[in-house]
Amino acid sequence: MKKLQILGTGCPKCKKLTEATEQAARELGIEFEIEKVTDIDKILEFGVMMTPALAVDGVVKVVGKVPTPQEIKALIQ
């Protein structure tokens, strides 16, 4: 199961990234879980300095922007 973590404190872009990530994962037909990481200290543990960010299985893939679902698919696989 893929672990998809959305790093962000709840801004609109964080929500857009969550929606785009969910769409990408659904379209891939994979098993996944989404975790929203909103605690600043936890976000910093990833080395991330700007939100939103996306981590796949613990590895940061995107920082400071919202990719399209198509782009996210490539990052998840």
Partner 1 sequence: MADKPCCEPVAQNDCCNGATVLIYPCSGSSDVGEISDHAGRLLTREGFGKMHCLAGIGGRVPGITLSAQAAGKILAIDGCPQDCASKTLSVAGIEDFSRVRVTDLGMPKGKTPVTEEHTRVVAEKGIEALRASALRATA
DSSP three-state, residue 65 = coil
Beta carbon nearer to partner 1, 5 or 24: 5
Degrees (nearest 5) of the Cα angle 17, 18, 20?
65
11 in contact with partner 1 (CB under 8 A): yes
48 in contact with partner 1 (CB under 8 A): yes
User: Are the C-beta atoms of residues 11 and 51 closer than 8 Å to each other?
Assistant: yes
Of 43, 59, 33, whose CA–CA distance to 11 is shortest? 43
User: Are the C-beta atoms of residues 51 and 9 closer than 8 Å to each other?
Assistant: yes
Of residues 52-71, which lie at the interface with partner 1 (CB under 8 A)? 52-53, 55, 59-65
Interface segment toward partner 1; rule CB under 8 A; list 7-15, 20-28, 29-37: 7-15
Q: Which active-site residues does the annotation give?
A: 11, 14
Residues that bind partner 1 (CB under 8 A): 8-15, 40, 43-44, 46-53, 55, 59-65
